[in-house]
């Protein structure tokens, strides 16, 4: 990584050269045949990545927070009851967002470091007659991964729409939208999708589209109104693009490149790669004596890790010391953990060498703040883990 640091935060991530090249190419018209082809290809590839042949993809300029709003603005009407499963900052954010759209919101909080109990979630949906519920698949503030494979069944039993906030999970964690019956799954471009920040991405299933088409009141968000975007997106796929707002042309072109990379890797192989990289990194930090925020191994995300610092260590000094070894990591985000934890992203184009380099930098950071670990302990533990599993070829160098 000569001349620059390795970016190992929970997003933005490292980006492949051909993806970056697409962002820097000359900008064309949003009606140019080459762009129409790229946009259509991106929409088709999203169905493959989300494993949702029946879904309707949305690609709209905006952040992950806008993806959260885009997912519900067209589905919630004033007075609707909604339930939010919260495992951290972003579940709480969804509660605020839904309330601003007029929903009556009940939040099911998990203790910090734990996943939401799905029976408790279903009971809340049942007892409130909620029309919609949201679950954060991986909360970036805690590194907790909530199981989502059963959410579709809960939604159908209770007549609700389920929305999965997959900002820190789509294209890294296993998600099978159609077979799991997930109504809406959203993300942002800068995480495991591997495209610079600026695109809100989601796929809406048939039940969600039906709910939107049956709404009785106007959508409160002009920019987030699915009715404005559906004719445009369907037009691009059919080769007859329309217009509502100018698309982020270069980012969409980069998205098409990155999604094809993901499809070529294969979703099962990609899920497995992220699982292995997470296991290697988490074995390494354990060997360095750094406990993780998730209270159980099965709740640990595969796309990022949130780790506790030793008592008395300054977060800012530690992060700076790791950076001096050429790796950028993130501090804590959850208000209860902010000064006592750090977070490392290992998603998207990250490979085994990046994980080992990061562990070496973390060890150097510990020494710099007066908490030495056995030299090479983290890298050794991660290497042993990698040697113990069937390693896909995609774990190697870029």
Task: Write the pLDDT tens digit of every residue in 108-160.
Answer: 999 999 999 999 999 999 999 999 999 999 999 999 999 999 999 999 999 99
Residues whose CB falls within 8 Å of the CB of residue 136, separated by 6 or more in sequence, listed in order: 85, 86, 87, 88, 90, 91, 94, 146, 165
Least confident segment among 207-211, 216-220, 373-377, 387-391:
387-391
Q: What pLDDT was estimated at residue 379?
A: 98
- Reported as a single tens digit per residue, the pLDDT across 171-219 is 999 999 999 999 999 999 999 999 999 999 999 999 999 999 999 999 9
- Token readout for 88 is 């951290």
pLDDT for residue 329 is more than 60: yes
Please tell me the predicted confidence (pLDDT) of residue 160: 98
Number of H helices, E strands in the chain: 14, 14
Say if residues 8 and 328 touch (Cβ distance below 8 Å): yes
What pLDDT was estimated at residue 397? 47
Q: Among residues 361, 354, 363, which one has the least CA distance to residue 394?
A: 354
Cα 193 to its chain centre, rounded Å, is 8
Query: Domain 17-265, CATH 3.10.450.50 — does that match?
Result: no
pLDDT at 373: 83
Q: Among candidates 100, 97, 95, 106, which has minimal Cα distance to 78?
A: 100
**Across residues 62-89, what is the average pLDDT?**
97
Rounded Cα gap, residues 229 and 226, in angstroms: 5
Percent of the chain whose predicted confidence (pLDDT) is above 90: 95
Distance CA 201, CA 56 (A): 11
Extents of the domains making up the chain: 6-11+266-395, 17-265
With a pLDDT cut of 70, the percent of the chain lying above it is 97
Which of the four pLDDT bands, split at 50, 70 and 90, describes residue 4? confident
Q: What is the pLDDT of residue 109?
A: 97
pLDDT attached to residue 391 = 62
Q: What is the mean pLDDT of the chain?
A: 96
Q: Mean pLDDT check: name the lowest of 35-39, 165-169, 373-377.
A: 373-377
194, 215, 301 from 11: Cα distances, Å: 9, 35, 14
pLDDT digits (tens, 9 = 90+) for 22-37: 999 999 999 999 999 9
Point out which residues pair with 188 in neighbouring strands: 200
Q: CB within 8 A of 14, min separation 6: which ones?
A: 6, 7, 348, 349, 350, 354
Q: Is the pLDDT of residue 313 over 90?
A: yes
Q: Supply the angle between the helices 352-368 and 377-388 in degrees, to the nearest 10.
A: 160
- Check residue 395 and give its pLDDT: 67
Element (H, E) at 86: strand 81-86
CA Rg value for the chain: 21
Token pair belonging to 361: 């930098």
The architecture in CATH of the region 6-11+266-395 reads Alpha-Beta Complex (3.90)
Tell me, what's the pLDDT at 398? 46
Residue 142 CA to residue 343 CA, distance in Å, equals 9
Main-chain dihedrals φ then ψ at residue 251, nearest 5 degrees: -70, -35
Report pTM: 0.96
pLDDT at 372: 83
**pLDDT score at 393:** 64
């Amino acid at each position: 990584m000569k001349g620059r640091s390795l970016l190992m935060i929970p997003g933005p991530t490292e980006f492949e050269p051909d993806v970056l090249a697409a962002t820097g190419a000359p900008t064309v018209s949003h009606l140019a045949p080459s762009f129409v082809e790229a946009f259509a290809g991106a929409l088709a590839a999203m169905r493959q990545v989300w494993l949702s042949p029946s879904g309707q993809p949305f690609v709209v300029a905006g952040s992950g927070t806008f993806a959260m709003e885009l997912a519900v603005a067209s589905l919630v009407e004033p007075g609707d009851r909604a339930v939010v499963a919260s495992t951290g900052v972003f579940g709480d954010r969804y509660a605020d967002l839904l309330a601003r759209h007029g929903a009556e919101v009940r939040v099911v909080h998990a203790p910090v470091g734990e996943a939401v109990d799905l029976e408790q979630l279903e009971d809340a949906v049942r007892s409130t007659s909620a029309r919609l519920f949201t679950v954060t698949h991986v909360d970036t503030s805690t590194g907790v991964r909530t199981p989502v494979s059963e959410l579709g069944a809960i939604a159908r039993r209770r007549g609700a729409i389920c929305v999965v906030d997959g900002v820190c999970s789509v294209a890294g964690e296993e998600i099978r939208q159609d077979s799991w019956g997930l109504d809406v799954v959203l993300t942002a471009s800068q995480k495991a999708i591997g495209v610079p920040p600026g695109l809100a991405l989601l796929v809406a299933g048939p039940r969600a589209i039906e709910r939107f088409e049956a709404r009785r009141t106007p959508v409160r968000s002009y920019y987030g109104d699915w009715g404005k975007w559906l004719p445009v997106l369907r037009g691009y796929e059919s080769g007859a693009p329309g217009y509502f707002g100018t698309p982020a042309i270069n980012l969409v072109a980069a998205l098409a490149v990155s999604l094809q990379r993901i499809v070529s890797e294969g979703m099962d192989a990609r899920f497995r790669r992220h699982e292995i990289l997470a296991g290697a990194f988490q074995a390494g930090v354990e060997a360095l004596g750094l406990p993780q925020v998730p209270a159980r191994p099965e709740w640990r995300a595969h796309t990022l890790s949130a780790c506790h610092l030793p008592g008395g260590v300054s977060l800012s000094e530690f992060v700076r010391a790791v950076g001096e070894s050429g790796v950028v990591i993130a501090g804590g985000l959850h208000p209860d953990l902010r000064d006592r934890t750090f977070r490392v992203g290992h998603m998207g184009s990250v490979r085994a060498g990046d994980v080992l380099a990061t562990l070496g930098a973390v060890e150097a950071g510990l020494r710099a703040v007066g908490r030495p670990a056995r030299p090479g302990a983290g890298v050794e533990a991660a290497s042993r883990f990698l040697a113990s599993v069937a390693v896909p070829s995609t774990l190697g160098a870029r």
